[in-house]
Amino acid sequence: MHKNLIATLALMLASSTAALADASDGRVKIGILNDQSGVYADFGGKSSYEAALMAVEDFGGKVLGVPVEVVTADHQNKPDIASNIARQWYDTEQVDSIMELTTSSVALAVQAISKEKKKVNIVTGAATTELTGKQCSPYGFHWAYDTHSLAVGTGGALVKQGGDSWFFLTADYAFGYSLEENTANFVKENGGSVVGAVRHPLATTDFSSFLLQAQSSGAKVIGLANAGLDTSNAIKQAAEFGIVQGGQRLAALLFTLAEVHGLGLEAAQGLTLTEGFYWNRDEESAKFGKRFMERTGKMPNMVHAGTYSAVLQYLKAIEKAGSDDADAVAKELHALPVNDVFAQNGTVAPNGRMIHDMYLLEVKKPDESKEPWDYFKVLATIPGKDAFIDPAQSGCDLVKS
């Protein structure tokens, strides 16, 4: 009886590993893992999955003669759920690479798993510079933006305009700290000061307490080191408490087209923000934007366009490497220049950071907007080398070797 049981188990194990080897040879499978139901569902969400599908179609649906498949799941902004899905995808569902990964705590967790299992992961939705800093991975890539580039863009623009004292409203987790720290350092380097900060839980609805503290601090700029619905609610309530009329400026450090659309131009007008992509910037980006619009009903922000770019580049790297083996693909990803609708002449640094231009944008007034989703004026282009941390200074041990 016992012998039978053990024999059956052994057979089952043997057959499942055999199936695994066959399947991973027979197709390339990409997993899009992000928040599809919480505060960041518009920031990336299901539309990022759509962007990945567009990239696969534009590439022809096949690489090295095998079909490319995209799967997706909702991690609910919880690192434990995300880790379970990532392990399941890698171990039993033959997923070759996980991408998007909105929410920094999740991205860090999944990058660690990918490193352990020798799989390529490309982060477009999360912001923390830790991903290409101390916690960098030879198989990990950070594609669309990071907290440093947001600090340089939005922080830099406001310091230049005389905003030299700051108070931070910071989301109480890895991303918020990273964004606050990067921006605070940048402000101080440029002769400014930070007069205070307050940490709020993720998905706070009422910001009035925090806004009052910011108001009484007397800081010239209130830095919103949060994202998604949190930032929208903070901006809306800041208007209510007369903060902008009182002479203080709001800096939405991570704010994209998706949130501007939700907030409306009336409330969002005049905000300065930084993105890695704007659909109405040139002809090619507008063409991409309209195709995306037809499929999702909305225009893409940098997370969506970044995910498109990441999937496309991953497939190019597989083709160049002639294999979907993670070591070979990672080598090509590091070597190939990135040229698509998202990035022009982008390069990938040894720490996994994709270095490309970022854009400093201003939200238009309602009467300046000529068509739906025409929301931004491009104030400046921030060259990649200024926007991102010098890889040698990033703290990533892959750079020295």
Partner 1 sequence: MTTIFGIPLQAFLGQLLIGLINGSFYALLSLGLAIIFGLLRVINFAHGAQYMLGAFVAWLLLSHFGIGYWPTLILAPLLVGFLGAVIERTMLRRLYSLDPLYGLLFTFGLALTVEGTFRYLYGSSGQPYATPALLAGGTNLGFMFLPIYRGWVIAFSLAVCLGTWLVIEKTKLGSYLRAATENPVLVQSFGINVPFLLTLTYGLGAALAALAGVLAAPIYQVSPLMGSNIIIIVFAVVVVGGMGSIMGAIITGYMLGVAEGLTKVFYPEASNIVIFVIMAFVLLIRPAGLFGRDA
Among 36-44, 79-87, 284-292, 366-374, which window interacts with partner 1 (CB under 8 A)? 36-44
Among 5-13, 113-121, 160-168, 236-244, which window interacts with partner 1 (CB under 8 A)? 236-244
Which residue in 28, 70, 229, 355 binds partner 1 (CB under 8 A)?
Answer: 229
**Site track 237-256 with partner 1 (rule: CB under 8 A), x = hit:** x--xxx---x----------
3-state secondary structure of 284: helix
Nearer to partner 1, 60 or 201 (CB): 201
3-state secondary structure of 59: helix
Q: Which of residues 166-225 bind partner 1 (CB under 8 A)?
A: 172, 198-201, 203-206, 208-210, 212-213, 215-216
Binding of partner 1 by 259 (CB under 8 A):
yes
Quick one: tokens of 68? 């490319």
- Interior CA angle at 199 toward 196 and 204, to 5°? 135
How many Å apart are CA 201 and CA 217, to the nearest integer? Answer: 20
The least CB distance from residue 45 to partner 1, in Å, is 7
Q: Do residues 222 and 167 make contact, with C-beta atoms less than 8 angstroms apart?
A: yes
Binding of partner 1 by 258 (CB under 8 A):
yes
Binding of partner 1 by 264 (CB under 8 A):
yes
Binding of partner 1 by 375 (CB under 8 A):
no
How many Å apart are CA 69 and CA 86, to the nearest integer? Answer: 16
Q: How many residues lie near partner 1 (CB under 8 A)? A: 43
- Interior CA angle at 76 toward 74 and 82, to 5°? 70
Binding of partner 1 by 58 (CB under 8 A):
no
How many Å apart are CA 21 and CA 23, to the nearest integer? Answer: 6
Expressed in angstroms, the distance from the first to the final Cα of the chain is 56
Q: Do residues 331 and 398 make contact, with C-beta atoms less than 8 angstroms apart?
A: no
Binding of partner 1 by 7 (CB under 8 A):
no
Binding of partner 1 by 367 (CB under 8 A):
no
Residue 225 backbone phi and psi in degrees, to 5: -90, 60
The contact set with partner 1 (CB under 8 A) reads 37-43, 45, 172, 198-201, 203-206, 208-210, 212-213, 215-216, 228-229, 232-233, 236-237, 240-242, 246, 258-259, 261-264, 266-267, 298
